[in-house]
């Protein structure tokens, strides 16, 4: 298992599995079970694995969930996910719920956090959190909601990683300034955006230096993923 350095830019959620990061970028690659890619140990890279709600299918579900359980048991991933709920795309809510619960159970068995994909299903997510009482925090990726929603998720112990195209907007500065720094992450989601540019923008929003922001996010990474 590779760990970031305090001087790294940490990209907490990316799908660029083929590009090796630059020396100063640490990438958490989000493997999706349907892609059947394996978490190959490499410096500067960590992995999560899960079944994305868009790609749930009855015929392959058994194999996919077995693959997720296997990766968790091998210790080759730092979290389960992305997993969650999508009301725009994906199968019926009952199937999404079952798949999410199965993945949260696997995460619980191996004491892992879960990376969340959630589109217009926040009540469902909060209900699942209440019902399943996870042992480790959840990390909501691609967040682009308002302050009230952020506050609600944070009150459940969750971490927030912001949608790359949202966080670079001028108006996102106000939101990020209002949030506890010890619960934030940044990501490209494999968009081709440069994580360095995102750090630049957010460090200006928070009135800290880029090395200062690296330190904050490195600390958050170690709090969430380094088991003591």
List interacting residues with Zn ion (CB under 5 A): 30, 189
Q: What is the DSSP string of 160-224?
A: EEE-HHHHTSTTHHHHHHTS-GGGEEE--TTSS--HHHHHHHHHHHHT--HHHHHHHHHHHHHHH
Q: Which is nearer to Zn ion, 29 or 104 (CB)?
A: 29
Helix (H, G, I), strand (E, B) or coil at 102: helix
Q: Least distance in Å: CB of 35 to Zn ion?
A: 12
Q: Report the nearest approach of Zn ion to the CB of residue 109 (Å).
A: 24
Angle subtended at Cα 162 by Cα 160 and Cα 165, rounded to the nearest 5 degrees: 170
Query: Which residue lies nearer to Zn ion by CB, 30 or 103?
Result: 30
Nearer to Zn ion, 122 or 181 (CB): 122
Closest to Zn ion by CB, 181 or 194: 194
The closest residue (CB) to Zn ion is: 189
Judged by beta carbon, residue 119 or residue 208, the one nearer Zn ion is 119
Quick count: other Cβ atoms within 10 Å of Cβ 206? 17
R_g of the chain computed on alpha carbons: 16
SS3 assignment, position 25: strand
At closest approach, how far in Å is the CB of 30 from Zn ion? Answer: 5
Q: What is the C-alpha to C-alpha distance for residues 188 and 53, in angstroms, rounded to an integer?
A: 19
Q: How far is the CB of 133 from Zn ion (least distance, A)?
A: 25
Least distance in Å: CB of 88 to Zn ion?
A: 15
């Amino acid at each position: 298992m590779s760990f970031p350095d305090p001087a790294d830019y940490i990209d907490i959620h990316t799908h660029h599995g083929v590009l090796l990061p630059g020396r100063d970028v640490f990438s958490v690659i989000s493997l999706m079970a349907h892609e059947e890619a394996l978490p190959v140990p490499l410096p500067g890279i960590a992995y999560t694995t899960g079944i994305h709600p868009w790609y749930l299918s009855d015929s392959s579900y058994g194999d996919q969930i077995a693959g997720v359980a296997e990766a968790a048991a091998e210790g080759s991933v730092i979290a389960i996910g992305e997993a969650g709920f999508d009301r725009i795309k994906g199968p019926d809510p009952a199937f999404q719920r079952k798949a999410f619960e199965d993945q949260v159970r696997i995460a619980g068995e191996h004491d892992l956090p879960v990376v969340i994909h959630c589109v217009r299903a926040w009540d469902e997510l909060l209900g699942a959190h209440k019902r399943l009482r996870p042992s480790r925090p959840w990390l909501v990726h691609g967040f682009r909601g308002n302050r009230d929603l952020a506050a609600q998720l944070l009150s459940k112990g969750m971490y927030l990683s912001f949608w790359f195209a949202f966080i670079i907007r001028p108006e996102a500065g106000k939101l990020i300034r209002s949030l506890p720094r010890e619960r934030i992450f940044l990501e490209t989601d494999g968009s081709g955006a440069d994580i360095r540019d995102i750090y630049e923008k957010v460090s200006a929003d928070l009135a800290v230096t880029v090395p200062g922001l690296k330190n904050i996010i490195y600390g958050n990474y170690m709090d969430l993923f380094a088991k003591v």
